[in-house]
Chain A
């Protein structure tokens, strides 16, 4: 049995993204959940599966209690950092296809203004205890510092340049300017990128994603039920997660330039019966610019080491051959753990993306990346 086209994303919701939110992460999670459930044409009590995302929001029980869920038949966790929300789609698809439940809510809320920042959060997670013991004391604290050696090795092996990383930052910023719910409102140039201060070589400030507050959510339902729901149907055609070798420490990874998505992407493309050349829009997890470039290689859009040239020449811009992060991504819209990538892909495939709509788009993908290399990929189509 394949999960191809078995489920659809039937509802999407996101709060306003900002810094300094007054609502807690759980309140933001609930606000987004209510929006997504209403978008699906459902009442909150009809949700019967919940997969909460992130370490700062509420567990399934608390969401069910607040939403007045009549009968929670299924709950799960997919603790893969920024890959969690797309890994959750796989879990939801399996559960719905097996008849365990009908409508799964996947929701996250973040209030990083009042909570722990990036350099602290990772060391609170038990799966990273060896990184915390052996790397943190050396001053390898935040994701920027832990990921930078992957990018540096890629640059040394393949000649990838900082300007090529900057091309991604500039492209995604341009898309954010077309999105009213994006934090970043000013255009940037390649010179701005090159002039931004170094954080952890080779990552400059404009290679790094935002810290922001907000909530995002979506609802997964059985494909046949989605036909009777209000929104244009967006089917999940291919779905997979992938874990890198040495998942718990980047330093010990045999090939530091290959992420977990390299293992998952072939499964997702095979499930969907399509190839990278068929993809018309891609919402790619962009905690750092280089992570976008590496995922493009790992998914097979180009060969290993060819990502630098691939991202140049406007290919990733709206109007280019492969528009990427049309919402502005984590780099320029908001850091919503990649749920905003799913929300945007669904908007694009519903043809509800307003000024940033990719004209006539029928097939696209969203990816997640997190927890030092875990990956997930969802290929979706309008239908």
Chain B
């Protein structure tokens, strides 16, 4: 049974605020509290000023498509029933990138620069995962 259930994230103190955000339907991005530089995925210190102090800010959830892939082979049995599905890399307005599912599983309509907006879908372990939909 465990073999076919989807893999779930294992949040750490470093990443817990991100998952608290997705559970509330918000994409939260870690920022340096000292110089303001955003970073994703979460890190221990700022690579610009090396401060340990962080603040989490809500993303607008808007961005543009940087690249993508469409999965046609399940490398984990938990995803075998979902094929095909599209994964999309998004340049968020905040200046960092996010990976999410694309709302259209065939990937139809994807192009570089396509404006998208984040939503959420339930994944393994009941965690909310980002899914991006074309704007407008």
On A, residues with C-beta under 8 Å from B are 118-119, 123, 130, 133-142, 144-145, 148-150, 152-153, 156-157, 197-202, 249, 251-252, 256
Contact = CB atoms under 8 A, between A and B. Distances in A.
10 contacts: A133-B10, A133-B15, A134-B99, A137-B7, A137-B123, A138-B129, A144-B73, A145-B71, A249-B41, A256-B66
Contact of A119 (B9, B76, B98, B124): B76
Given A118-B75, A150-B67, A251-B97, A139 B87 contact: yes
B129 A137 contact: yes
Given A130-B41, A152-B67, 13 more contacts: A130-B42, A133-B9, A133-B11, A133-B15, A138-B99, A138-B129, A139-B79, A139-B87, A149-B68, A150-B67, A156-B112, A252-B97, A256-B66
The A interface, classified by DSSP as helix, strand, loop or mixed, is helix
Using C-beta atoms within 8 Å of the partner chain, give the interface range for chain B.
35 or more
B9 A140 contact: no
Contacts of A141: 7, 75-76, 79
A118 B6 CA distance: 17
Nearest to B124: A137
Contacts, number: 103
Contacts of A136: 7, 9
A251 B124 contact: no
Contacts of A200: 69-73
Contacts of B72: 197-201
B77 to A, nearest CB: 10
A156 B113 CA distance: 11
Contacts of A140: 87, 99
Contacts of A134: 9, 41, 99
Interface in B83-136: 85, 87, 89, 96-101, 107, 111-112, 123-125, 127, 129-130
Contact of A152 (B6, B12, B69, B127): B69
B95 to A, nearest CB: 11
Nearest to A140: B87
Contact of B75 (A119, A150, A152): A119
From B9, B41, B124, name the one whose CB has the most chain A CB atoms within 10 angstroms.
B41
B50 interface: no
Contact of B6 (A137, A145, A198): A137
A221 to B, nearest CB: 40
Contacts of A139: 6, 71, 76, 79, 82, 85, 87, 101
A252 B40 contact: yes
Given A137-B6, A152-B69, A153-B112, A251 B79 contact: no
B8 interface: yes
A149 B8 CA distance: 22
Given A149-B87, A149-B89, A156-B111, A138 B100 contact: yes
Contacts of B6: 137, 139
B20 to A, nearest CB: 14
Given A145-B75, A201-B107, A252-B41, A138 B69 contact: no
B133 to A, nearest CB: 15
Which of the listed residues B8, B42, B99 has the most CB atoms from chain A within 10 Å of its own CB?
B99
B69 A201 contact: yes
B31 to A, nearest CB: 15
Given A145-B71, A251-B97, A138 B112 contact: no
Interface in B50-80: 66-73, 75-76, 79
A202 B40 CA distance: 26
